[in-house]
Amino acid sequence: MAKVSEEKLEKIRTAIVEVLLEVRRVYLREDMKRALKHWETLENRALSAARRSGSMDEWMTLLCRGLQIPTLDSSGCSAVMELSHLAREHGQPAALDLVERETRSLMAVARLAADQRRDEKDAAKAAKEATNG
């Protein structure tokens, strides 16, 4: 297996986090009762899927199946296609190994990104209300 550069791995990491965020969004939209332990569930399913997959496409399928997500919307599909493309271009084994070795780190980045997006959304809403109110 050829060594994948750190720059390429970083692109794959970013794409994995985007997929995790999209899967999380759909997972919570399907049933908000899941919100309490969703990060733990998402981490466990991501790791389990990585250990049973031979490709990133299979990983994403197993991840969604494990979370009982029937389908992703266009935003989710775009994130999936980007990750799929990067994994094919830079190596499926490296991408799967990254998920398995760095699951906790990837989840931490996803959590921080979700919090940042929520804060930005809240700030935009507050600014809009301030100009209208």
Please tell me the predicted confidence (pLDDT) of residue 30: 79
Residue 21 domain-assigned (yes or no): yes
Burial of 44 from C-beta contacts in 10 A (0-12 / 13-18 / 19+): middle
**At residue 1, does pLDDT exceed 60?**
no
What number is the average pLDDT over the span 76-104?
Answer: 93
Please tell me the predicted confidence (pLDDT) of residue 33: 72
Domain count, the chain: 1
**At residue 21, does pLDDT exceed 60?**
yes
Residue 1 domain-assigned (yes or no): no
User: What's the mean pLDDT when you consider all of the chain?
Assistant: 91
Q: Sorting pLDDT into bands at 50, 70 and 90, what band is 2?
A: low
Percent of the chain predicted with pLDDT > 70? 98
Cβ-Cβ contacts under 8 Å for 51 (sequence gap 6 or more): 100
**At residue 133, does pLDDT exceed 80?**
no
Residue 61 domain-assigned (yes or no): yes
Considering only CA atoms, which of 91, 111, 94 is closest in space to residue 40? 111
Residue 70 domain-assigned (yes or no): yes
Is residue 25 within 8 Å of residue 64, measured between CB atoms?
no
**At residue 123, does pLDDT exceed 70?**
yes
| The model's pTM | 0.84
**At residue 118, does pLDDT exceed 60?**
yes
Query: Residue 118 is part of which domain span?
Result: 8-132
Residue 2 domain-assigned (yes or no): no
Residue 68 domain-assigned (yes or no): yes
